[in-house]
Structure 1
Amino acid sequence: MPQLVLPLPFVLLLVFTTSVFGTESAEVEIIDVKMISDTAPHSAFTDLIRFQDNWFCVFREGKAHVSRDGALQVLKSHDGNVWQSVARLTSPDADLRDAKITITPTGQLMLCGAAALHQPAEARHQSMIWYSDNGTAWSDAIAIGPPDYWIWRISWHDGKAYGVGYHTIEPRETQLFVSGDGHRFEKLGEPFSVDGFSNEASLIFHTDGTALCVVRRDGTPDDAQLGKSVPPYTDWKWQSLGQYIGGPALKQMPDGRHIIAGRRKTGPAKTVLWQLDPTTAKLSELAVLPSGGDTSYPGLVLHDDILWMSYYSSHEGKTRIYLAKIKLPTSK
């Protein structure tokens, strides 16, 4: 497949000063931001991973934000500058959406997404996964979970795969799913006790087994929620984050700090990076990425003390895929 050769990185000397966790002045530097794909009329809903010393960025391509031709694109890069399309997953029966990627305990790539089924069909949505040993050759699609549950992102912990699925038809409940083999996903516990239309969620696990979950909410109320649970993850406690977060990505840094990225809709829509205090559920804004309009759905990877972040945005006229490198302040 042809390579996409990018211009020299556009270096952004943007420094944000904020106050986080008792640090009087902490600087966040956006080192550079570059566009890495704009070949489709609409490119969106990203994720990012480093695998076998290469970068992989996955996202949806289609004619529009919602269109019958949605496909999941896989880009590969050795250095983050030159990107090559190495796979494109399609379905004759569905708009494939919201690519998310992770590494299994056995060292495979797992790509998950949802098939918005062409109607008429027996269901509206079906969650799907694909596997790959190298990021280029992918398995056939495997349906996971019950129809009309959108398992939005999968995280691995102690050899099991966990994902939060939201019901895309009434009663619009949100539910934790678990799999012991990465193929068969079952409901774990009861639906989350979160009011309103809760949906997209990002889940992480601490070394002591504690799980944290950030859940987007739409409608009224629309503030994102932070959930906490301990094994067996059937009892969750929820706190408001006081902020709408679209397409959330939650990550714990090696020093213990917690980072959230997603879309802020207070004022013009922007893709934003926050620091989270998981005890108080307080957010501190760290940086606003060059973004606007149709934007968000970031992927986060820490590499050589730099936070790499994929996201999409339409602030330059059409939706494109961007890659940012961010230097976070040293914790004190």
Structure 2
Amino acid sequence: MYRLVLLAFVSSILSLQPSLAALPPAVTVTNIRRVFHNGEHNAFTDLVRFKGQLYLCFRSCPDGHMVFNTASTIILRSADEGATWQQVHRFSVKDRDTRDPHFLVFNEQLFVYTGTWWSGPGKIEPKEYDMNKMLGFAVSSADGTTWSEPAMLEGTFGHYIWRAATLGGKAYLCGRRKPGFDITAKGEGEKVQSLMLESDDGLVWKKRAYFTETAGDETAFLFENDGSLLAIGRHGGGKEAFLIRSKPPFIEWDRKSLDRAVGGPLVAKWGKHVLVGGRHTTKEKGAKTSLCWLVGEQLHEFAELPSGGDNSYPGFIELSPTKGLISWYSSHEKDEAGKTITAIYMAELNLSH
């Protein structure tokens, strides 16, 4: 009898091993530093590795966060795993605000995509922001040094484009738009659709599928080895975030609510674990850039980065199986005159088991 009980106990412990092994590791955050500030509003970061070097991109604008034709996208490069950075390119688009730049390595080219608001030759008021006039643009490079002129992305007019990913020789891009390109309301409302756009060359896009019919917003794609899709989507009303899954041919979509809103979401694979980052807002602390592990259908926060006010939109790159680099922007610091600055920050993430 006692032998049977002991065997049952041992069996139950062994059965727990896979789940215990799947638990994410502890993380320490080190080497926190400001990597860029030029006196302008600097925001919306992304990171990528391309041909052995690291690249960082973000928007910079002397007039601030809102829509201005003075905005541009800055691209920095590091040859020493993020210790130092040098600017390799800066571009803008006439009469448009280049916002939310993101990288994509595709067809041996490094692309930087930006969703642009039309602003015209001068400042426009928020009531005049028109989502139907949005248009995606991209610059690309084969070596990270010589860059193309900004190219209009066919099939993106009236779409606010965001993060992209690749699968099986095709590129996929998050784009959102008003249903029927409704012209009665300005800006973005809760009645916004999120679409998966598809491209063979990274420049010409077509609709592949809808994945959020209402309250669509910024969505980060992550393709698994089997071709299935895992995505983290921001709720258009700012109330929550969605865990979204689908499999080729991306006809059926499973969407579940997460326990928090995630502004400017990031999703990345680090070894066997899934990293999720973005803005988490609470009454006690306000808006903070938060990092979590996704375990099953639950987010487990492991770090709150130094941040406040206008912040978030992280980028991530794995440096080794136990070390990663995270970028984000924030307005929690002031300059020597006591004026709030909005700058680009970076830190190292270190795994311990």
TM-score range, shorter chain: 0.7 to 0.9
2:291 alignment counterpart: 273
Out of 251, 262, 265, the residue aligned to residue 234 of structure 1 is 251
Cα distance between partner residues in 2 of 1:260 and 1:186: 28
2:273 alignment counterpart: 257
Residues 252-288 of structure 1: CA deviation (Å, up to 9, x unaligned)? 122x2111010001231100100002x4x21100101
- Paired-residue identity, %: 32
Structure 1 or 2: larger helix share? 2
Residues 172-231 of structure 1: CA deviation (Å, up to 9, x unaligned)? 111111112212111013x22454x221010011111110111101326x2100111000
2:45 is paired with a residue whose SS is strand
Q: 1:74 and 2:94 equivalent?
A: no
Cα distance between partner residues in 1 of 2:40 and 2:273: 37
Q: Which runs of 5+ in 2 are unaligned?
A: 1-18, 122-129, 183-190, 335-340
Residues 38-68 of structure 1: CA deviation (Å, up to 9, x unaligned)? 0142000000112222221100000200222
Cα distance between partner residues in 2 of 1:88 and 1:211: 32
Q: 1:177 and 2:197 equivalent?
A: yes
1:192 alignment counterpart: 211
1:316 alignment counterpart: 333
Letter in 2 for 1:202: A
Q: Compute the displacement of 1:103 (Å).
A: 1.0
Q: Which runs of 5+ in 1 are unaligned?
A: 1-20
TM-score between the two structures when normalised by the length of structure 1: 0.86
Cα distance between partner residues in 2 of 1:59 and 1:227: 26
2:318 alignment counterpart: 302
1:83 alignment counterpart: 85
Across the two proteins, how many residue pairs are aligned to each other?
A: 303
Q: Compute the displacement of 1:290 (Å).
A: 0.9
Q: Compute the displacement of 1:22 (Å).
A: 4.7
Residues 103-141 of structure 1: CA deviation (Å, up to 9, x unaligned)? 11x321011001211249994210112110122221122
TM-score between the two structures when normalised by the length of structure 2: 0.81
1:216 alignment counterpart: 234
8 Å CA contact retained: 2:131, 2:160: no
Q: Compute the displacement of 1:26 (Å).
A: 4.9
Structure number with bigger Rg: 2
Cα distance between partner residues in 2 of 1:250 and 1:194: 21
Cα distance between partner residues in 1 of 2:24 and 2:45: 31
8 Å CA contact retained: 2:218, 2:234: yes
8 Å CA contact retained: 1:216, 1:246: yes
Root mean square deviation, CA, Å: 2.0
